[in-house]
């Protein structure tokens, strides 16, 4: 009887063991603390950053900055170094800093060599364009004529002051004190001179010496002949006996003129003797 019970118990145990072996066990989940998790996350993040293409990063760093300058419309080009813009709805005359172009409109002087060319180039560069301006604390804001002193940049970035000097349309000009771009403008003028550009081209502004004019001579003064050697009593002379009209006229008048033309020197009786003589 006992054997049968044990045998029965053994079968149950064996069955329980078989069931236990057949049932999958749940894996033991390790406890992950914040300290263990954060380094693992950081490592993955760094690996992703390293994987970013270098060319893509370089391209982004080379993008130009967006300009934030206020633009003004050019309403008039007065000459090579002076323009008028519209500022806050009113005209504002601008004198370009650091340059001087030959005069074309100054009533105190004549049109100077290459002045027309400089003025025309400024009109070509700026007529109908928009510009932004830069003032200079060294020169102050205005000159004695109340013109605003400024550097002018076209809306495409062209630096007008330097362009005119570099291409031979203007001289570098320092008034009293150095200004912000003095070194650059002096270098630009040397470049224009060396290359013979604009007003520095050979022979463009060389003064020509006018051909010498003959000194005007005063007209010869006539010395009346001595009347003591002439006779008025008979016809002794004709126009061929005199060198000039004045000489014949003197004898004619000495002898009485029209009323006594004894020598017949006044053929047409008009009071002028020997009119064919010089």
**What are 157-193's pLDDT values in tens digits?**
999 999 999 999 999 999 888 999 999 999 999 999 9
Among the residue ranges 188-202, 217-231, 243-257, the one predicted with the least confidence is 217-231
**To the nearest whole percent, how much of the chain has pLDDT over 70?**
69
Confidence (pLDDT) at 9: 52
Q: How far, in Å, are 1, 68, 184, 190, 209 from residue 201 at the CA level? A: 136, 39, 21, 13, 19
Q: Active site residue: 117, 147, 172, 247, which one?
A: 147
For the question of residue 147 being annotated catalytic, the response is: yes
Instruction: Determine the pLDDT at residue 119.
Output: 94
Residue 5 binned pLDDT confidence (cut-offs 50, 70, 90):
very low
Position 154 scores a pLDDT of: 97
Q: How does the average pLDDT of the chain come out, rounded?
A: 76
Higher confidence at residue 175 or residue 13?
Answer: 175
Q: Is 71 helix (H, G, I), strand (E, B) or coil?
A: coil
Statement: residue 6 has pLDDT above 60: no
**Predicted TM-score of the model (pTM):** 0.52
Q: Structural domain boundaries of the chain?
A: 72-200, 225-278
- Name beta bridge partners: 83: 77, 94
pLDDT at 216 over 50: yes
Residue of 95, 117, 172, 247 marked catalytic: 95
pLDDT digit string, tens, across residues 24-41: 554 444 444 444 434 444
Torsion of CA 218, 220, 222, 223, to 10 degrees: 100
In the chain, DSSP assigns E strands to 72-79, 82-87, 90-96, 99-100, 130-134, 148-154, 171-172
Which residue among 103, 166, 172, 247 is the active-site one? 103
Q: Which residue has the higher pLDDT, 51 or 169?
A: 169
Reply yes or no on whether 108 is catalytic. Answer: no
Supply the pLDDT for residue 229: 65
Q: Which CATH class is domain 72-200?
A: mainly beta
Residue 118 is inside which H or E element, if any? Answer: helix 115-126
Query: Is-catalytic flag, 154?
Result: no
Q: Helix or strand or coil: residue 173? A: coil
pLDDT in tens, 143-157: 999 999 999 999 999
Assign 182 to helix, strand or coil: helix
Which one has a higher pLDDT value, 91 or 60? Answer: 91
């Amino acid at each position: 009887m006992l054997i049968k019970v044990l045998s029965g118990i053994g079968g149950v145990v064996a069955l329980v063991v078989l069931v236990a072996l057949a049932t999958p066990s749940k894996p033991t989940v390790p406890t992950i603390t914040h300290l263990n998790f954060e380094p693992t996350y950081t490592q993955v993040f760094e690996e992703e950053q390293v994987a970013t293409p270098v060319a893509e990063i370089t391209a982004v760093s080379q993008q130009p900055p967006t300009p934030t300058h206020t633009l003004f419309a050019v309403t008039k080009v007065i000459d090579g170094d002076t323009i008028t813009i519209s500022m806050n709805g009113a005209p504002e005359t601008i004198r370009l800093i650091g340059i001087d172009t030959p005069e074309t409109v100054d009533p105190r002087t004549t049109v100077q060599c290459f002045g027309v060319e400089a003025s025309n180039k400024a009109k070509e560069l700026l007529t109908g364009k928009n510009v932004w301006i830069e003032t200079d604390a060294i020169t102050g804001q205005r000159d004695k004529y109340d013109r605003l002193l400024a550097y002018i940049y076209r809306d495409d970035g062209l630096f007008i002051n330097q362009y005119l000097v570099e291409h031979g349309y203007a001289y570098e000009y320092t008034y009293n004190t150095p200004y912000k771009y003095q070194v650059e403008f002096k270098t630009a003028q040397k470049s224009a001179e060396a290359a013979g550009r604009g007003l520095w081209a050979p022979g463009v502004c060389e003064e020509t010496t006018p051909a010498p004019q003959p000194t005007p001579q005063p007209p010869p003064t006539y010395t009346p002949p001595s009347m003591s050697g002439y006779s008025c009593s008979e016809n002794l002379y004709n126009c061929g006996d005199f060198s000039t009209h004045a000489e014949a006229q003197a004898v004619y008048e000495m002898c009485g003129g029209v009323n006594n033309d004894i020598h017949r020197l006044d053929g047409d009786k008009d009071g002028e003797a020997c009119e064919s003589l010089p």
